[in-house]
């Protein structure tokens, strides 16, 4: 989401230029300014913070000037693509987080990965939390209404795309705790694992992927979400953040899609995809190519382009309880035979209240625990003729669920086929 404030990254300019820049922003009619606070710029040596010695790093001076000009201010912390994001010493970390290269460097195209310092390494995580503690203690002095500061955004987006968390012992603990016993895990995955140590490798996770690709990807993303939530809690529990909690928010690179108003919309299942909030990539754990995710990516990119060209709203299914703002009563949902329980409950509630949902590839049958999804009663199901094709129509509450009687027979042009079906349902 774009800021309503003018961008002014103070470290890019000598401090004696700041008044001129602020005057220009005021002349342009901006209500305030936003700026990044880069860890790498302010902590060149471990534990030594510079917020006043170097002229370009005088954060308090900037905030005082912003207030003198009658501006509001918002600042961004965290991990964005910039050479000042990490201190040089942090880049020498022995542990690394693997992330999609194009998310770190948008000029890069393709499916390469790169390495960043791992926040799973205790010394790096502690160092960053100590830096935040120092920053928050300074920002407290300039909080609105006494000061100009109205918002603090902590961007964790790079780490929301970490691809190698299967190497952590916490991942093993998560799987064994979630499934309760190996019998349950083996039943879901169709495997024969017997001991916890047999999970302790990315190779074993690749086996799970080969057995149940969608479920393995879902388990990974659920763990990653929990891992990220734990980091957020650590930040919010910092002593110096307490007076600022009402203005602190987190950004995780969530896909929001274009702000389009349309009569109908498309939702796609993101379990086999990665996003930085702007672009899409296939999910490739540990940087290893993964065929099902590449198929999901090709479909998603095709749908994304078609939606942009035809001004149709495109969003992600809420796999972990995220909120969905339906643009209307009718939606086409692209998913396979699996759908997370959270996604099902969101869609089911929409249909019960009078919404219509079309599943072009067939109605999903199972959730992440291989439990059947109950869309309605069999006696409320019928076939309707549409041209030379039959549609399966399932009455659910006050709404309807549609799918092709023979999924997959859409010819050479999926988009035109989809539009014909949508027009019939409207």
Per residue in 195-244, pLDDT (tens digit) is 655 555 667 788 889 999 999 999 999 999 999 999 999 999 999 999 99
pLDDT attached to residue 347? 94
pLDDT attached to residue 58? 95
pLDDT attached to residue 215? 96
Q: Where are the beta strands (DSSP E) in 306-388?
A: 313-316, 330-334, 356-358, 381-386
CA-nearest of 265, 275, 353, 355 to 319 is 275
Residue stretches of the chain with pLDDT short of 70:
1-3, 195-202, 256-258, 411-412
Q: Helix 182-189 crosses helix 169-179 at what angle (to 10 degrees)?
A: 90
* Helix ranges, 14-140 (H): 18-27, 39-42, 59-68, 101-104, 122-139
Give the C-alpha separation, 163 to 281, whole Å: 12
Cβ(343)–Cβ(365) below 8 Å:
no
CA-nearest of 195, 196, 173, 187 to 215 is 187
Annotate 107-133 with b (16+ C-beta within 10 A) or e (fewer): eeeeeebbbbbbbbbeebeebbbebbe
For the record, the structure tokens of 105 come out as 């460097």
pLDDT attached to residue 201? 64
pLDDT attached to residue 199? 57
pLDDT attached to residue 118? 95
Give the C-alpha separation, 3 to 1, whole Å: 7
Of the chain, the end-to-end C-alpha distance in Å amounts to 31
pLDDT attached to residue 181? 81
Q: What digits encode the pLDDT tens for the residues 348-359?
A: 999 999 999 999
CA-nearest of 230, 195, 184, 208 to 286 is 208
């Amino acid at each position: 989401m774009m800021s309503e404030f003018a961008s002014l990254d103070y470290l890019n300019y000598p401090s004696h230029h700041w008044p001129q820049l602020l005057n220009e922003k005021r002349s342009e009619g901006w209500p305030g300014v936003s700026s990044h606070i880069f860890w790498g710029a302010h902590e060149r040596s471990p534990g030594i913070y510079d917020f006043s010695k170097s002229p370009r790093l005088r954060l308090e001076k900037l905030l005082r000037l912003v207030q003198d000009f009658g501006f509001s201010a918002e600042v961004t912390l965290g991990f964005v693509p910039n050479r000042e994001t990490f201190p040089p010493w942090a880049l020498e970390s022995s542990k690394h987080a693997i992330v999609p290269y194009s998310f770190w460097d948008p000029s890069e195209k393709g499916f390469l990965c790169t390495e960043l310092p791992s926040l799973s390494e205790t010394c790096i995580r502690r160092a960053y939390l100590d830096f935040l503690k120092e920053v928050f203690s300074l920002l407290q002095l300039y909080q609105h209404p006494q000061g100009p500061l109205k918002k603090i955004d902590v961007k964790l987006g790079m780490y929301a795309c970490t691809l190698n968390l299967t190497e952590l012992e916490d991942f093993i603990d998560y799987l064994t705790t979630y499934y309760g016993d190996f019998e349950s895990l083996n039943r879901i995955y169709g495997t024969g694992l017997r001991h916890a140590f047999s999970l302790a490798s990315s190779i074993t996770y690749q086996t799970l992927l080969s057995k149940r690709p969608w479920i393995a990807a879902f388990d990974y993303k659920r763990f990653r979400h929990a891992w990220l939530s734990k980091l957020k809690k650590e930040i919010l529990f910092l002593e110096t953040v307490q007076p600022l909690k009402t203005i602190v928010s987190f950004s995780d690179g969530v896909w929001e899609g274009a702000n389009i108003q349309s009569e109908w919309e498309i939702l796609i299942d993101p379990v086999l995809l990665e996003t930085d909030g702007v672009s899409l990539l296939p999910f490739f754990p540990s940087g290893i190519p993964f065929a099902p995710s590449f198929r999901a990516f090709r479909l998603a990119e095709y749908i994304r382009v078609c939606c942009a060209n035809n001004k149709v709203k495109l969003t992600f299914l809420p796999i972990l309880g995220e909120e969905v703002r339906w643009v209307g009563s009718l939606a086409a949902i692209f998913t396979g035979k699996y759908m997370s329980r959270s996604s099902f409950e969101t869609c089911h509630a929409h249909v019960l209240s009078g919404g219509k949902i079309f599943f072009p590839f067939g109605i999903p049958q199972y959730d992440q625990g291989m439990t059947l999804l109950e869309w309605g009663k069999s006696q409320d199901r019928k076939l309707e003729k549409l041209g030379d094709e039959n549609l399966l129509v399932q009455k659910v509450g006050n709404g309807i669920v549609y799918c092709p009687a023979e999924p997959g027979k859409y010819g050479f042009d999926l988009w035109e086929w989809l539009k014909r079906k949508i027009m019939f349902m409207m």
